[in-house]
Amino acid sequence: MNDEKPSKVGEEARQVLKSAVHDELVKKAKLGQDVIVNRDGKPYKIPAAEALRIQEEANEYKA
């Protein structure tokens, strides 16, 4: 594994992507839609509200 810190541009890109995913999960949760997630290498269909809760509890998203 690479021990180098991501560049400033790389870190900004990661934050933008996280924000975009969060925004989409919020939209889908409000509409009552499902999302497909990867669990142990297999695709699972779960409610977007559950995916949003998991993301926020894991402190993966920081607004």
- CB-CB contact of 51 with 35 (8 Å): yes
Question: Could you tell me if residue 44 is inside a domain?
Answer: yes
- The total of structural domains in the chain comes to 1
58, part of any domain: yes
Is residue 6 situated within a structural domain? no
> Would you state the pLDDT for residue 53?
93
pLDDT of residue 5: 78
Q: Given this model, what pLDDT does residue 63 score?
A: 46
Considering the entire predicted model, what is its pTM?
Answer: 0.75
pLDDT of residue 3: 66
The percent of residues above 90 in pLDDT, for the chain, comes to 65
**Residue ranges making up the domain that contains 45:** 32-63
